[in-house]
Amino acid sequence: MKVTSDKNSKLLAQYPFLYSMFHLTMEPLHGNDDDDCAIDDLSIHVETADGTLMFRRAENVGLRENSCIFFLDGKRKGQVMKQGEYLFAVDANGKILNRLDWPRNEHDRRNQKGEVYGYHVFWKSRYQSHFEEPLFDETKYLVWIKIQCWHKDSKDDSAPPYRFGEFKDRLVDITIYQKPEGGFDKLKQDSNFAEHLYLDEKLIIRAALERNIDILILESRLTELCRLFQDDVYQNGMKEILDQGNVRGASGRFGNVEVLCAEMCGYDRVVLEDKNCWISFQLRPGSSNLYVLGMGGTLPQLRNVIKTVVKVWSSDPKSRSEFKPNKELSVL
């Protein structure tokens, strides 16, 4: 393992239980000392646990399935990456009390019932959480580990290992979450599903297939916010600016929110994003109503970006001049 900074060295000395985690099997880290399993870049962070962690879910990609992460340009062009994420509960003596593994892929996901959230780490059996003593009092730290493994893109996705060619390097990102004031039990009780659950397209699709009413209610709130943006912004001048431009693309900044508009295969698409989240809307040809296409963020975060744009657009007509044609966005 390559310790990449003095900061990491100090944190490893302060939290020696991390060394034992490096020897565990966590795809795509196999827990042995072979060069192919070396850590090429290590990042360690220390934070205080919050409600978002209680409802956090892993983003596993490329673990025994035909999927990968890639970039179209930059230093990673021509490479593909697989990713695995894990959560550990650790006591004051550095003993690992429990480990939370998420489904490796959609096939594994279909073989389980319900979602797996971060707070499930406090129970050793997720399916018997009401019949066993939780680990709230024993746990001093929660440790989130993200492992990314980059390979040369073989461009062969016909059979395993699919596009994962020559191994390039492995990145490990660790966040140590300290116990919050009041403890983990109080944090779990105070955490709110509607405020802390990270929403994305995969989650919404699964909710629809499994008839998860709680999540579908959150989606309905996004639909209402979409209509608010449509009526107060998009159909109130924004679409006109887009239509009258010399290219089929436009962008602007409203407060801390970036708004990007473009046409893709005849569909008008709008993306709102800030440093915390993003949401996209789309308009079908011949339709007058936007619909939610995709998102990444909690409901309060998504609500904030939409209401920020609505407020600035409606209260300050001069701000609309910030929304201008952008030829770089003419095709997404």
Q: What is the pLDDT of residues 105-135, one digit of tens each?
A: 766 766 676 789 999 999 987 655 556 789 9
Let me know whether 235 and 106 are in one domain. Answer: no
Let me know whether 179 and 242 are in one domain.
no
Q: Count of domains in the chain?
A: 2
Task: Please indicate, yes or no, whether residues 266 and 183 belong to a single structural domain of this protein.
Answer: no
Same domain for 159 and 261, yes or no, is no
Query: pLDDT tens digits, residue range 171-204?
Result: 999 999 999 999 999 999 999 999 999 999 999 9
Banded pLDDT at 35 (limits 50, 70, 90): very low
Which of residues 131, 158, 191 is at a domain's end?
191
Instruction: Indicate whether 207 belongs to any domain.
Output: no
The answer on 224 and 167 residing in a single domain is no
Q: Alpha carbon 285 to chain centroid distance?
A: 30
Residue 148: inside a domain, yes or no?
yes
Residue 53 lies in a domain: yes
Q: In this predicted structure, what is the pLDDT of residue 6?
A: 87
Give the mean model confidence (pLDDT) for residues 252-275: 93
Contact 271, 283 (CB under 8 A): no
Show which of 191, 226, 246 is a domain's final residue. Answer: 191
Q: Is residue 120 part of a domain?
A: yes
Q: Is residue 202 part of a domain?
A: no
What residue numbers bound the domain in which 25 lies?
6-191
- The answer to the question of residue 255 being in a domain is yes
In whole angstroms, give the CA distance from residue 202 to residue 58.
12
Same domain, 178 and 224: no
pLDDT at residue 90 is higher than 90: yes
Cβ neighbours for 218, distance < 8 A, ≥ 6 positions apart: 194, 197, 199, 299
The stretch 262-268 carries a mean pLDDT of 87
Looking at the fold, whether 94 and 147 belong to one and the same domain comes out as yes
Q: Are residues 261 and 114 in the same domain?
A: no
80, 118: one domain: yes
Pairing state between β 257-264 and 267-273: antiparallel
Between 36 and 329, where is the model more confident? 329
**pLDDT at 136 exceeding the cut of 90:** yes
The rounded distance, in Å, linking the Cα atoms of 130 and 69 is 38
Within a domain: 201? no
Tally DSSP H helices, then E strands, for the chain.
Answer: 10, 12
Q: What is the spatial distance between Cα 150 and Cα 169, in angstroms, rounded to a whole number?
A: 5
The tokens for 93 are: 């003596």
The answer to whether the beta carbons of residues 198 and 191 sit under 8 Å apart is: no
Domain membership of residue 49 (yes or no) is: yes
Structure token digits, residue 182: 């009041």
The answer on 168 and 315 residing in a single domain is no
Helix (H) or strand (E) holding 99: strand 96-101
Q: How many residues are given for the chain?
A: 332
Q: What do you get for the CA distance between the two ends of the chain, in Å? A: 40
Shared domain check, 17 and 128: yes
Q: Which of 191, 207, 233 is the last residue of a domain?
A: 191
Residue 319 pLDDT level (bands cut at 50, 70, 90): confident
pLDDT band of 324, cuts 50, 70, 90: very high
The confidence band for 332, taking pLDDT boundaries of 50, 70 and 90, is: very low
Asked whether residue 331 carries a pLDDT value surpassing 90, the answer given is: no
Distance CA 109, CA 328 (A): 38
- Could you tell me if 184 and 225 lie in one domain? no
**pLDDT tens, position by position, 142-154:** 999 999 999 999 9
d(Cα 203, Cα 195) in Å, to the nearest integer?
A: 15
Pairing, β 291-298 against β 141-153: unpaired
